[in-house]
Structure 1
């Protein structure tokens, strides 16, 4: 492994300006093949780590969580790795082509996204042989376009379910929301016909109720505004389920001096789901909001409830969320709305209900900390996590 890293380092230092067009293309083709081989080996290793429950060493329940938290792999890419690892053993020819560098990780994902353990079990129950599909897909992946493989995979889905979708429509429903660096989001949903009708009826009612004279918005802009208005109406109704002891609401954290200062202040305020907005936008929201004072300094007596309270009051939870943002267990980062406020020194052992004695932990890691693991906030404000044997869980690749 170290020799491989050293070789890649040597390649990155090679001068490319002297290459002919033919040499540039040959080099590119070889690197694509090498990248495929590395991706195949990564997939195989991740699958092995998953089946041996290796992430438990670092207090995590899945390799997906470990890849996201410890190696900073995107959640989407981690899911693809997991899917591929579970599917490839059933398709040895595709796996061999992947390992030889002839098939790409994206092609493998086309197969794995459509054919997982559930579909493989269904095929076995119906007496459908996988070998023929394995041979066909390996050949198409090596010789044809990416879209051709998608068509070939659809043939398996048709053979598996010639009569159409299952009567239960909820199995096919999905909603994906992707957050970007500036806090904006893009999304995609997949809904059955009846669910689509419900959503379209709700959005259309709002669109038709808001058609001011001179409206120059496009249709897609009107629909987006309608969706936001539906969310506004639901949040204002107070009828949504309670979330961690409080009604769901929009949270904006802003320093007092920025609230008063008339300057715009780009990326000055932070929101509950992690987005950064300007001070001007925060002041706009504050016009129709409840303002809560959260004192983070050492003299913040309202945040210190001493021994009188074992249950964490809402103002203290807001302060802990403002400081920690998410689960502080190494490699986790679960959002604060999944998390509990943990007493570092347990209340029953004399620990106070205070900001200093609190840490934000998701349910799984709250349990882990009560069974041998520990989290400690060092003098510099950085959270550190320790295994039951006292060794620290460190984040990042081991390159030396």
Structure 2
């Protein structure tokens, strides 16, 4: 029976099967939403989640079918596609709407994929992965129409057993699976070309947010990016484990990773950095004599306010523990009163000796392992402290910050531990 025979184009017919079907869905969802899942049996929750996943795939299939035939909406809106109407009426960004329309057109070309969506066995995300893989095969001059059809069949089958990310990996190698003899060399060449493009795309932007933070984003080749991820997580994961063992509420993983990245930067040995104009890479800190004497002073990273960054004197003292730093002390008239010596890290052998002696963070009650601690100068380097074992103490990042914070004092107890006390 034709739907067209029952549709009132003025929208007044109660016999409109499309409207009736949508109303039934809305009513059923409304009924479910009035119920409290807290009172459902475990088996009911599992059943609901499984069936909703199927329904989401079918909903996506229906939406993509409608979008694939939405040319009349575009004509009415006077736009090249239906995205303008979607933006105005559904408040969906045009870029997102156009991506959906593009996906709808791609799915419409592949019958097996469209059927999998309609049956609820392929999710929206997996459909996007499959269409991207099939588009790449269509653009491959070495692949035939038979290769394309077989790839679609294999990917639809894989989609019933793999996650979207796993399917993405399979999709990149699907032609090799179809015919290794023909496509293995082509895959290797394509991979080399992809890596070359990745090198050209490598970029990093850094900017001052003017709120005490610096923002950055960038793109790295995948091999370098995964190394970066591994290095950062190597610093973040132990911190997470320590907090979990102590029963402390865990901060968001993104914050732990950010702290791990900061630790990675702090522990870079200046000796390993490149040289500029014959001078070792250093951080220059410009500070007035008055500010040097005050606990709540300010300093400049760089040589002047125009090209430098304002930091607290506290932060400058903390940096002095872990970086090559040259302090320039200025008088009231800007005259250079002192160009201090360069201070380095505690040397690796000194760090090993401190770890052997002290076993963990020396703050009273802290048991952070020594490999995650900083070597801190008991007598601040800026006040003449020396980089030697007698003047060195292991502190975890948290207690190292307290050691330089003006709101706290600290003292070394007879047993060698450091006690922190908040200033009154």
TM-score by length of structure 1 reads 0.39
Larger radius of gyration: 2
More relative contact order, 1 or 2 (CA 8 Å, 6+ apart): 1
- Which is richer in strand? 2
- Which is richer in helix? 2
TM-score by length of structure 2 reads 0.37
